[in-house]
Amino acid sequence: MTNYIEFTADLLAQVGENIALTKEMAHAHSCCTEGGKHLHYCTMYNGKRYITSEEQREQARRAYAINKADAVAAIGEKLVFVGMGMNYDSRYEDDVCNHRIRTEIVNPEGRRFFIEVCTSRGENMHVTHVVDRDQEEEYKTKAQEYRNKIEQAGGFWKIGKGNPLYENYQIYMGQPYYWYKKNDWVSLNAKFTRANVLKLVNMLFDCNFTEMAVDYYHLNTDDYVSTSPSQLVTA
């Protein structure tokens, strides 16, 4: 049977300052009886399960919201990735230390992109997604426009394949925006370091970031975008 323990006074005093504990307590999950009756919340922290009251969870949620607002305010012109995988201890100098990271980016021309990078075999990085957000929006809008025209013309069954409406719809149902500059990253042979991720982003998207960070405890990609400075600033 799973064992749950009570928080110590020392741990409770760390809520807010201890960002890992604060995040886990703010996201404590409900524990129920076999009949579905709520018993208490559970906080997973350092391999232990802590009994968490509604009041404790709400306290952590308030502190978490403050920490999150501070993290967003501190982004500025930094390239900030969200840690989507599990954190791990550094294996070598400048290791990213998270198995999967992603971010939304706006380059100096105002173009929008998404990129996700993860660990690969050995020490190399693997690029999983590079999305041209502006092209994605264009294609989805056009696909819907042609779908509306097809429905007005009687539907897919009536117009049939070969009709210009059908053919244009098929074009815009394609997803070239998922493969932005694919040849520049699909067979990339680069170590999974912050410096190399920073270099890749600047190269792919014509950005001028000089600092790269990973946030595992506060952010998701709906909270912010990494906005590149208009020019590269060097010391």
pLDDT per position as a tens digit, 104-126: 999 999 999 999 999 988 899 99
Segment 206-231 shows an average pLDDT of: 93
Cβ neighbors of 124 (< 8 A, separation 6 or more) are 188, 189, 190, 191, 192
| Per-chain mean pLDDT for the chain | 93
With cut-offs at 50, 70 and 90, classify the pLDDT of residue 3.
confident
Q: Determine the pLDDT at residue 232.
A: 64
Report the C-alpha gap between 35 and 33 in whole angstroms. 5
Domain ranges in the chain? 5-72, 74-135+175-227
Which pTM value belongs to this model?
0.86
Chain centroid to CA 202: how far? 18
| Cβ atoms 214, 101 nearer than 8 A | yes
Helices (H), the chain: 9-12, 19-26, 54-73, 133-152, 156-159, 164-173, 194-205
Residue 1: is its pLDDT beyond 60?
Answer: no
Cβ neighbors of 65 (< 8 A, separation 6 or more) are none
